[in-house]
Amino acid sequence: MAVLGTAAVEVLIPVAALVGIAFALLQWYVVARVPVPSHAGEDGGGGGNKNVREEEEHVEEDGMDYLLVEARCAEIQRAISVGATSFLLTEYKYLAVFTAAFAVVIFVFLGSAQRFSARPGPCAYDPSRECRPALANAAFSAVAFLLGAATSVLSGYLGMRVATFANARTALEARHGVGRAFAAAFRSGAAMGFLLASSALLVLYAAVNLFGLYYGDDWGGLYESITGYGLGGSSVALFGRVGGGIYTKAADVGADLVGKVERNIPEDDPRNPAVIADNVGDNVGDIAGMGSDLFGSYAESSCAALFVASISSFGAEHNLTAMMYPLLISAVGLLVCAITTVVATDVTEVKGSDEVGPALKRQILISTVLMTAGIAAVTFLALPPSFTLFDFGNDKHVKNWHLFICVSAGLWAGLVIGYVTEYFTSNAYGPVQAVARSCRTGAATNVIFGLAVGYKSVIVPIMAIAAAIYASFRLAAMYGIALAALGMLSTIATGLAIDAYGPISDNAGGIAEMAGMPHRVRERTDALDAAGNTTAAIGKGFAIGSAALVSLALFGAYVSRAGITAVDVLSPRVFVGLLLGAMLPYWFSAMTMRSVGSAALRMVEEVRRQFDTIPGLAEGLAVPDYATCVRISTDASLKKMMAPGALVMFSPLVAGTLFGVETLAGLLAGALVSGVQVAISASNSGGAWDNAKKYIEAGLSEEARSLGPKGSEAHKAAVIGDTIGDPLKDTSGPSLNILIKLMAVESLVFAPFFAAHGGIIFDHL
């Protein structure tokens, strides 16, 4: 028997979530103590007198009016916040209509699987028992979908608010040293990470308990309906990632091509009309979209683990403590991440620019080591020494230490992916430096080297994922794979803190440039931003790796629920689906890349028009029309996100309904295998190009200085490579991980309908 009782479990999970929320609010409060003028609509908090004295010293030192600089920072921050809020609220209005309509689709499809029967029927996995009616499952799945969508919206919105609250404060702290700026950015990222992870855990736990009031001992039906929670989260995340990615990259590409290449003005120069839209885009794409994305991964991995466990001995024996094992892992993960954050912000101190990157990498290592001990404690306290799991019709005998290895395999595979990603995207190592050197001969060789880096960066992460899959499946079948995915996401709060740190630092650098801060301040924010580019790539690597594991676990659950005994790739039905599924990531990438390209074309034309027609703009004597550029990005993203989203949402429905459950199984397998490779290579190529450009701009080595300065031919070639990489790393690449897991969870949710009525075409051929 397990040491932890039911009462302890029911207390530990919500308490850990509430502790996480309280910790997030504490981080927010500390950042809020950095004063920003009140007319920006922000509460400056405490500590104002000390900062005023420091500012007065700086005025004497460099003759700059810091009261005016603060006012400019506040004004720019407010413009970014208003633009980001306006875009997200408009986007969420569209998504509200979509989620309501798709909830109806879920109810109709699942209800029709048993002809809208309101009578209890035999359980899907134990016909000798009677379970809740199909109509109830349809209704609760639709409600879970809406709940997941709402939580995903909340995650994205809260992340955006935290980021726009912190960017000017990070810029202002950079006046006093890189260490204080780092602490402000990292604390802000932690506030977002803990808010998202804690609210996701709390809402999921509450949903399980509320749904359980109706389902009672029908745990199979309960957790089958709960899978709608993951579907809702990823549905919103898909549109958020695609829409936000189109927004930010349209502005970024337009600003870079005209500003840095044609006009030879600095990045984030206030004369550039696209600069505000670019900064807004960082928040709606890299913050709100990324937050929704990782929430979706967390929700789906948890739902997959809970569903597979519910049809195994845990569910049959109604062992609540063992059933809640996935949520206990997440709860302990929050406590571990809190300790890790304290180490980053209070125990150690960043004193120089060269310490930023290592400090961020330490957070990944510390959280992984501590979480390994946490997993061991939860495993041996919550699980019985041995039990049985469902393994495609067979009972697999498993010991509790097997599950410890499964979760740890995912956790350490994530660390490997993170470090490999850092090696291929950081300008401290050979691959990115080689990309920078290739700029000597122009943009063409830069593009060739960058693509090669992206392709090569796939090798080790795929091996790590494959090793985790093999070990987990051998030890605990599909439940082991679901736990490996959860292990990779168990330190999600720290992962999100590191990921959000990047866009916050990027915005801080933009605000410092636009507010006219001294060059030394911009050097500090550039150092933060360069490390942030790498950590953003690491975050994408985690998201893609976990998506692969989550998708495979959901695939196994779908195969079980659809009643498929084996997936034979030599079967024509399966092989057709396999080919079509492998094609979908390329079709999806083509749509998103083209969307960014067409939006960027409009942005380039508008920026050129303003420089040509507004007298004195190039000389800094006139104010550009920022609002028009913001409107271009907004309109393009809202219009262009629909088609890629529809492709992903309707592909499983069409395949399952017209061609049957076996073809859909092939489709999911093809999309998984193809999508992971494309996503990793696209994200890492883009990261390498971005940091090759920053390597030249920083000029920290003799080689880098020989390639620069800004405006040199090598630098212009690097900017072109960075521009090509922008939609790869911030739109197509990170959206592909949502594609593979969204298709898998959608197939699981609709599996009862496909099993009953799917195959309209192939069944008659």
57 or 430, higher pLDDT: 430
Domain annotation covers residue 685? yes
Q: What is the per-residue pLDDT for 360?
A: 84
Q: 104: Cβ–Cβ under 8 A, 6 or more apart, which residues?
A: 142
pLDDT single digits (tens) 53-93: 344 344 434 556 667 888 888 888 888 888 888 888 888 98
Measured distance CA(526)–CA(353) in Å, rounded: 9
> Is residue 133 pLDDT above 50, yes or no?
yes
- The closest of 386, 400, 757, 396 to 556, measured between CA atoms, is 396
Domain annotation covers residue 93? no
- The closest of 519, 453, 439, 432 to 706, measured between CA atoms, is 439
> Is residue 52 pLDDT above 50, yes or no?
no
Domain annotation covers residue 41? no
Q: What is the per-residue pLDDT for 59?
A: 41
In the chain, count H helices and then E strands. 26, 4
Confidence label for 118 from pLDDT (cuts 50, 70 and 90)? confident
How much helix, strand and coil, in percent to the nearest 5, is found in the chain? 80, 0, 15
Confidence label for 618 from pLDDT (cuts 50, 70 and 90)? confident
Domain annotation covers residue 64? no
Domain annotation covers residue 507? yes
Q: What is the per-residue pLDDT for 57?
A: 41
Measured distance CA(225)–CA(750) in Å, rounded: 11
Number of domains in the chain: 1
Q: What is the pTM of this model?
A: 0.87
Domain annotation covers residue 91? no
Which residues span the domain enclosing 643?
Answer: 6-29+131-757
Domain annotation covers residue 99? no
At 644, list the tokens.
């890629």
Helix residue spans in 256-392 (DSSP H): 275-281, 290-310, 313-316, 320-323, 325-342, 356-382
Measured distance CA(351)–CA(353) in Å, rounded: 7
Domain annotation covers residue 345? yes
Averaged confidence pLDDT in the chain: 86
